Amino acid sequence: MSSSAALCSATFVDPGYDHIVELVHQRDRVGQRRLESLELDLYEPCGISLGRITVDPRQETLDLAALVAPRAAGVARVMVAFDARYDTRIFPYRPHHYGYLRRRDSPEAPLYYAVNATLGGVPDRLETAMRQNNFETYLFLSRPGGERYALRLGSLARFSTVQAQVITYHGDARAVVPVTLMPHQHAEVELPLERGGERLRRVELKTLFRLASYVVGRRVDSDALVLFDHLFTYFK
Amino acid sequence: MTVEPGPEHDRLLLCYCTDLTIGQLREACREGRWPLPGKERTGKLCTGCLGDLLFCLERFSGGTADSRPAPTQR
C-alpha cells in the first residue's frame, strides 16, 4: 500500500526582501525529516507561469528570493507553489514549511510565518468539512499601529475561476469586495484602515474552495512589510 | 484564458487529499463509475480542488449529486 501523500503550499515573494523557507519544520530524535520530492511553480499576478524548479529535498532551507529573482525581473509579486510529496509514515499529519522574511534596506524586525497549505494535507479520517464554503477570518489590533493592511489571495486552481468575497468590518459596518481569480492568478486587496470614523476590526474571506491567503501589513511611511500572517479558518 | 482538461493533464494530481488524478477522474466518468471507491470525499477535505473537480466533472459529463458542494447556510 502506498504511503505517499501530497501537499501544495503557497507563498508570495516581493522583490527587495530576504526570503528563506525552512522546507521541513519537524524534527525527530534522529534528525530532520525529509520530503520525498519538492517542485516549485512560479506565477505572475496574471497567472502566467514563470517556470518550474525542482528542489533537492535534502536541503534544510531554501533561499527563495535568490531562486525567484532571476526568473521574475520587474515582477512586483510572485506566487510560489510548493508541490511536495511526502511519506505519511514519516509525517503522520503533514509537513510544515516555515518562512523568514526581511526587507534588506529596512530596520524592521524579520517576519516569521507558516507557509499556507492550500491543496492537500487533510487526511480522509478527519471530519472537518461538513459544508464546502470556506470562511477565514483575521482580527486586527484596535490601536493604530502606523500600518496599512491588505489581503493577498492566490488561486492554485488549474482550470476553474473562483469568485471570492473579501468582507471588512469597521465597527458594525460591513462591506463586501468581490474578487475574481482565474487559474493561478493572484491579487492584493487593500483593506481600508477606517470607514465612517471606525477602524478596521476584522476581515473575512469567503470562497467556494480554499485559496492561498495572507494578511499583510505595511508601514505607512516606508512601505516595509511588518505583518505577513495566515487567516484563521473556520467552517460555519 | 480558460484551459480545458485534456489528456496531457491526465497525470496531474487533482485532489491532493484523496490522491486522485485528472486521468482517473476522466476514466471513471467515461465508465460511469464516479465516485470511485475511496475517492468519495474528493473536494471535501481541504476543499482546494473543489473548483477544478466541478469543472472537470462538467467537462467529463460524469457529475453526481455526491460530488456537488452541500448547500451553505449563513
- Residues of chain A positioned with their CB less than 8 A from the CB of B52: 157-160
Q: Is the pLDDT of residue A156 over 50?
A: yes
Largest CA distance in chain B: 40
Minimum Cα–Cα distance from B18: chain A residue: A124
Q: Is the pLDDT of residue A235 over 80?
A: no
Minimum Cα–Cα distance from A233: chain B residue: B46
CB atoms within 10 A of CB A152: 21
**A19-28, A79-88, A208-217, B17-26: segment of lowest average pLDDT:** A19-28
- Count of pairs with CB atoms under 8 A, one residue in A, one in B: 99
- Residues of chain B positioned with their CB less than 8 A from the CB of A5: 16, 19
Which of A44, A159, A181, A234 to mutate: most B Cβ within 10 Å? A159
Q: Which three cell numbers stand for residue A48?
A: 502566467
Considering only CB atoms, A6 lies closest to which of B3, B19, B74, namely B19
Write down the H helix ranges in A56-189: 64-68
Considering only CB atoms, B51 lies closest to which of A121, A124, A208, namely A208
What's the predicted TM-score (pTM) here? 0.91
Name which of A28, A17, A117 is nearest A68 in CA terms: A17
Count of alpha carbons within 13 angstroms of residue A171, beta-carbon side: 7
Considering only CB atoms, A208 lies closest to which of B13, B50, B73, namely B50
**A156-160, A161-165, B68-72: segment of lowest average pLDDT:** B68-72
Q: Which three cell numbers stand for residue B18?
A: 484523496
Q: Which three cell numbers stand for residue A207?
A: 470562497
Whether residue B6 lies within 8 A of chain A, CB to CB, comes out as no
- ipTM field: 0.91
Q: Express each pLDDT in B16-74 by its tens digit.
A: 999 999 999 999 999 999 999 999 999 989 999 999 999 999 999 754 434 444 444 33
Q: Express each pLDDT in A76-108 by its tens digit.
A: 999 999 999 999 888 888 899 999 999 998 999
- Residues of chain A positioned with their CB less than 8 A from the CB of B60: none
Q: Which three cell numbers stand for residue A143?
A: 490601536
Task: Give SS3 for B55.
Answer: helix
